[in-house]
Amino acid sequence: MTPPLPELTTRMRDIFGLVVEAYLERGQPIGSKALTGAVNLSPASIRSVLAELEERGLLTHPHTSAGRLPTETGLRLFVDGIMQSHLPSVEERAAIERQVRDRPLEEALANATAALSGLSACAGVVVAPKIERRLRQLAFVPLGPGQALAVVVGEDGSVENRMVALPPGLTAAALAEIANFVTARLAGLTLAEAEGRLRQEIRERREALDAAAAELVATGLAEWREDGPQRPVLIVRGQANLLDEAAALDLERVRKLLDELEDRQEIVRLLEGAREGEGCRIFIGSENRMFALSGSSVIAAPYRGAEGKVVGVVGVIGPTRLNYARIVPMVDYTAQALTRLMG
């Protein structure tokens, strides 16, 4: 359990804050000698304070180093009680606004996520409102007798793969023909509109389409339309930012984080926890089950629609060694920008 701030003396708070700030800046342990120029204490007194902070569970030290690092408990104490946040600069606010203002919603969400990723040097994430996708392309990959993989590409760049059972006698040529028809004639339509148009073509036989193939696709469009809104859309940008110089010192942690980022549904469930409340939620390391293995942090904030209801969440995912004081207000500002867009 995190000790309350009043239990820490002024001397302990000062030294603890210096250790955390040095860790967030450089990602390395800091020892008593490095602190002597920052506080008016002897190295022996500093070592005594560091030992006390370690006993309280706020600091730890690697076996190979005499320096100290903050624990996850220590980081939580720093973020909640000591950290002084810095508002985004004029340039940072302008960079976010440029990517959001006067743009279609899907483009604005993707752009805002990319901008937040670039400014924070983390992976940017956003849970988009449940909106009906529009088709861009349909393709089929035959997998063997009676089975194929349907590949549906949305206008927002989303890709969904589904296994489909083929009726007897349906040929690969017929599948290719109906896929080409959907891509050429139904692109830009919602799934509901595409299904309706295709069924009309089946009824009127204005196109020389294979009836079985056309019915297979029309049924598939209906199913995708019905269950699509049940799956929130997650946009992730900037995973490459996680591969910085510091990552070379901890490649196993980064590999685990990249693996975790592949589990889109689990990320959505985690981010949904930020829907409650007005501002940012911060999950540090093992505080969230999903990123416990990689020891990563998540900073996320909700954004709202025209009626003031929360419709999505935006945030960043990165190592626990984040510049929380800078990134927390940046995530909050991005959420506010998206709220203005939706309003």
Residues 6+ apart with CB under 8 A from 307: none
Report how far residue 189's alpha carbon sits from residue 186's, in angstroms, rounded to the nearest whole number: 6
Q: Give pLDDT < 70 ranges for the chain.
A: 1-6, 64-65, 130-132, 156, 205-208, 226-232, 243-250, 293
Nearest to 235 by CA among 158, 147, 338: 158
What pLDDT is stored for residue 51 in this prediction? 92
Q: Give the model confidence (pLDDT) of 67-87 as tens digits.
A: 899 999 999 999 998 888 888
Q: At 285, give phi and psi (nearest 5°).
A: 55, -125
Residues 6+ apart with CB under 8 A from 132: 190, 191, 192, 225, 228, 229
What is the pTM (predicted TM-score) of this model? 0.69
Report how far residue 86's alpha carbon sits from residue 63's, in angstroms, rounded to the nearest whole number: 34
What pLDDT is stored for residue 163 in this prediction? 86
Residues 6+ apart with CB under 8 A from 3: 56, 57, 58, 77
What pLDDT is stored for residue 242 in this prediction? 74
In a 3-state reduction of DSSP, which class is residue 160? strand
